[in-house]
A and B are shown apart, each in its own frame.
Chain A
């Protein structure tokens, strides 16, 4: 399986990562190599195998419906790039 430049650009857009045009061929080639490695998976038939999402056959534990958190806005926003009036600011969202 190999990826071309267009596919790399499409994936990079989906992942919202900017990649310089000059770097695209390099990514296309290393990603294609990784996919070649990954394609070894097709050697084994897995028709009747149940996918395993998780190492443990455990079930979800449920949390009591209790409010345990208090307002820590100032603390959390002290690491934020841009805030005003308690809001996180981002470039204008157009709907």
Chain B
């Protein structure tokens, strides 16, 4: 039987506000337990929520960025359930009237195919605290610092048909929320998390199969693995005559398996109702216009422009626009050096490689876009070769100053004086008479050998073009 996979994602993006969604406590990561949980976050008797203006603005910004309908009238609702990390016994979320409705995003797969994925809704809600399972005499410790942190839950349509599509969609959202500066995208700290609803159905069947919800997957790699392993499990189960049950499952990365979460197995009745402590959020056109004005150039538009303006390939432009800071870095280097393609190669090559190696963000790159551009200019005007440039770049990375200073200090300036090159060529031919004879007898493959010898003799500084030309002249003469 041919199976079709159906995937929908629920992404939780933590919004980059200063304070919590309903209180004035800080949301900074890594504080001592419960030092950032104020009376409102703790749900003490009598406290009341007041909505953070930035959370609303960021949600609206997201809605506008995906061309969705940003609701003029949205309502907060209580989702009631008991759990120790949920202080009030209910989570303030949005149910019937979310702030963002019906948008879509285009994803691009590795083979270049493009596909539209629907975004059903995005709503504001508060995060819960954390249960720490280290053993406190057989008890669990509760830290409520995270309780009340603003989240935007972005719910997709069940439009994805493979783990690859799911990852592409997740990456796209991940890139977008950082672009529009509403989420830092830090998956290790839990600022960007994902639940995946996965089901399978016989190819051609209209109705969806029963889905399992995979909870809290916190890396792109795990999303792919978790979905694939879950799909495998479901297909095997059905083919062996079993049925999939609707349940919440946890992905165990160590064992590469998903397992049922017993504690959440019980059918929940969340008893949603409008939160009487909060009034409807009303946004008008003028407000949305001001938010719209703060939207930066979005990734897709930027990519198309890079292709047009700098003559980049679609793939390169895609890589360079995945991250807004990287795109800005590239664009500055390209502008200042007037060598866009060279800049693109360097940014995707050496720059990215060293950043990865040192686990740095582009914003912390020791070689600024200005410095990179300075070096690219020296390649363009033949002061240094591409090979020497790597040495210059590494020196700049280590803090030895800009390209000109490094070239000067280390004497890396390319030899372009033809008499000096002629002397080098003559010397190498004289030292290798046998090879010179063979070359003259027709073994032209030896050209590379001679170039290599000359470059070695010049410590890499001889202009390769001039060396080639001179060699040909001498050996064929």
Interface of A with B (CB < 8 Å)?
Answer: 14, 16, 53-54, 56, 58-69, 71-73, 76-77, 82, 84-95
- Which chain A residues border B39 with CB–CB below 8 Å? 72, 76
Nearest-Cβ distance from residue B215 to partner chain A, whole angstroms = 9
B82 with A72: CB separation less than 8 A? no
Question: Residue-by-residue, is B7-25 near A (CB-CB < 8 Å gives 1, otherwise 0)?
Answer: 0000000000111000111
Q: Are B143 and A54 in contact (CB under 8 A)?
A: no
B33-A87 in contact (CB<8A):
yes
Please tell me if B451 contacts chain A, counting CB pairs below 8 Å: no
**CB-nearest residue of chain A to B35:** A71
Known: A63-B51, A66-B19, A94-B262. A88 touches B141 (CB 8 A): yes
Question: With contacts A76-B44, A85-B141, A92-B139 known, is A61 near B50, CB below 8 A?
Answer: yes
- Within the complex, what minimum Cβ distance (angstroms) separates B245 from chain A? 18
Give the contacting residue for A87; candidates B23, B25, B132; CB below 8 A: B132
**Is the beta-carbon distance between B140 and A65 smaller than 8 angstroms?**
no
- Cβ-neighbour of B142 out of A59, A63, A88 (below 8 A): A88
Q: A87-B143, A89-B140, A90-B139 are in contact. Are A62 and B278 (CB under 8 A)?
A: no
- By the criterion CB–CB under 8 Å, are B141 and A84 in contact? yes
Contact B34 A77 (CB under 8 A): yes
CA distance in complex: A76, B250 (Å): 34
On whether the beta carbons of A71 and B144 are closer than 8 Å, the reply is no
**Known interface pairs A90-B84, A92-B138, A93-B131; A65-B19 also in contact (CB < 8 Å):** yes
> Which of B56, B140, B274, B281 is A90 in contact with, Cβ under 8 Å?
B140
**Within 8 Å of chain A (Cβ to Cβ): is B282?**
yes
Closest to B282 in A: A59
A-B contact count (CB 8 A): 124
- Complex formed: what's the CA distance from A8 to B308 in Å? 69
A72 CB to nearest B CB, Å: 7
Q: When the two chains form the complex, which single residue of B32, B54, B144 contacts A65, counting CB atoms closer than 8 Å?
A: B54
What A residues does B229 contact at CB under 8 A?
Answer: none
B202 beta carbon closer than 8 Å to chain A: no
Interface residues of B in 27-73 (CB under 8 A from A): 32-39, 42, 44, 50-56
For B129, the closest partner residue in chain A by CB is: A88
Q: Are B50 and A63 in contact (CB under 8 A)?
A: yes
Q: Nearest Cβ in chain B — how far from A9, in angstroms?
A: 14
Shortest CB distance A93–B (Å): 4
A-B contact pairs, 27 of them (CB 8 A): A14-B269, A54-B276, A54-B279, A60-B51, A62-B53, A63-B24, A63-B50, A63-B53, A64-B53, A66-B24, A67-B19, A67-B26, A68-B19, A69-B25, A72-B39, A73-B34, A73-B37, A76-B34, A76-B37, A76-B42, A87-B34, A88-B84, A88-B142, A89-B136, A89-B140, A93-B263, A94-B263
B110 at interface (Cβ–Cβ under 8 A)? Answer: no
Closest Cβ of chain B to A67, distance in Å, is: 5
Q: Do A71 and B36 touch (CB < 8 A)?
A: yes
Asked, given contacts A16-B82, A65-B17, whether A95 binds B141 with beta carbons under 8 Å apart, the answer is no
Interface pair B281/A60, CB less than 8 Å apart? yes
Interface core residue of A59, A63, A71, A73 (most chain B CB under 10 Å): A63
Most buried by B among A16, A59, A89: A89
Give min CB distance, B388 to chain A, whole Å: 50
- Determine the distance from Cα of A84 to Cα of B24 in the docked complex, in whole angstroms: 25
Q: Is the CB of B140 within 8 A of A85?
A: no
Could you say which residues of chain B place their CB within 8 Å of the CB of A77?
34
B446: CB under 8 A from chain A?
no
Residues in B whose Cβ lies below 8 Å from that of A60: 51, 76, 278-282
Distance in angstroms between the alpha carbons of A62 and B39 in the assembled complex = 19
The closest CB in chain A to the CB of B150 belongs to A65
What is the bound-complex CA distance between A88 and B34, given in angstroms?
Answer: 9
- Quick check: is B116 within 8 A (CB to CB) of the other chain? no
Residues from chain A with a CB closer than 8 A to the CB of B32 are: 71, 73, 86
Closest to B53 in A: A62
Contact A66 B250 (CB under 8 A): no
CA distance A93 to B133 in the complex (A): 8
In the complex, which residues of chain A have a beta carbon less than 8 angstroms from the beta carbon of B51? 60-63
- From B53, B76, B274, name the one whose CB has the most chain A CB atoms within 10 angstroms: B53
Question: Whose C-beta in chain B lies nearest to the C-beta of A88?
Answer: B142
B253 at the interface (CB under 8 A from A): no
A95 to B143, CA, bound (A): 17
